[in-house]
Amino acid sequence: MTEYKKGILILTFFTVLSGCTLSANQTQEESKKQQSAQSVATSSVSKELITQGAKYFRFRCGGCHEMSAEAGSSFGPHLEGIIGRQAGAVEGYDYSKALKEADFVWTEEVMDSWLAKPESLLPGMCMTFKGVPDEDVRKAMIAFMKEPE
């Protein structure tokens, strides 16, 4: 094995160890795939986009959120019907003060700006999350949240 190949192997190993770096890389790759899928798709919210969004969701949000009320709230509140839902509205979930007192509806636009920059919408919200800078990824996630598979 050449030194070069060994280097790549070691790099890959460390990338796998640090989950965040891995998801960032994969997200970029998936975003490229998604772009090519989108160029052949005819409808604006294609099935592929939703499937893509489901993957991103599992990756970036699924650790703390379930998509169905039946599965219930975990670390974060469940997100069934989140697009169109009043903020801070899951019965029995112990929201932060900021979210409890929030008076807005999660529309696609609100979700998009919040995903892009979480701390900008509700500074007191206790969700440790850095945001999704890639517009295509946000679009796919929102498509999935609107129509979970």
Site string for ligand HEC, 107-126 (x = CB under 6 A): --------x---------xx
Question: Which residue in 37, 83, 98, 116 binds ligand HEC (CB under 6 A)?
Answer: 98
Q: In the complex with ligand HEC, which residue's Cβ is closer, 7 or 133?
A: 133
Provide the token pair at 115: 């995903």
| Contact call for residue 76 and ligand HEC (CB under 6 A) | yes
| Contact call for residue 50 and ligand HEC (CB under 6 A) | no
| Contact call for residue 140 and ligand HEC (CB under 6 A) | no
The least CB distance from residue 52 to ligand HEC, in Å, is: 14
Which has the closest alpha carbon to 79: 102, 55, 106, 104?
106
Q: In the complex with ligand HEC, which residue's Cβ is closer, 7 or 63?
A: 63
Cα(91)–Cα(86) distance, integer angstroms: 12
Cα(146)–Cα(149) distance, integer angstroms: 10
The least CB distance from residue 87 to ligand HEC, in Å, is: 4
Q: In the complex with ligand HEC, which residue's Cβ is closer, 5 or 69?
A: 69
State the sign of the Cα–Cα–Cα–Cα dihedral 22, 122, 94, 115: negative
Cα(60)–Cα(109) distance, integer angstroms: 19
Question: Which residue in 121, 129, 147, 148 binds ligand HEC (CB under 6 A)?
Answer: 129
Q: In the complex with ligand HEC, which residue's Cβ is closer, 8 or 105?
A: 105
- How many CB atoms lie under 10 A from the CB of residue 112? 15
Which has the closest alpha carbon to 59: 127, 137, 143?
137
In the complex, the residues that contact ligand HEC under the rule CB under 6 A are 60-61, 63-65, 75-77, 79, 82, 87-90, 95-96, 98-99, 106, 115, 125-129, 132
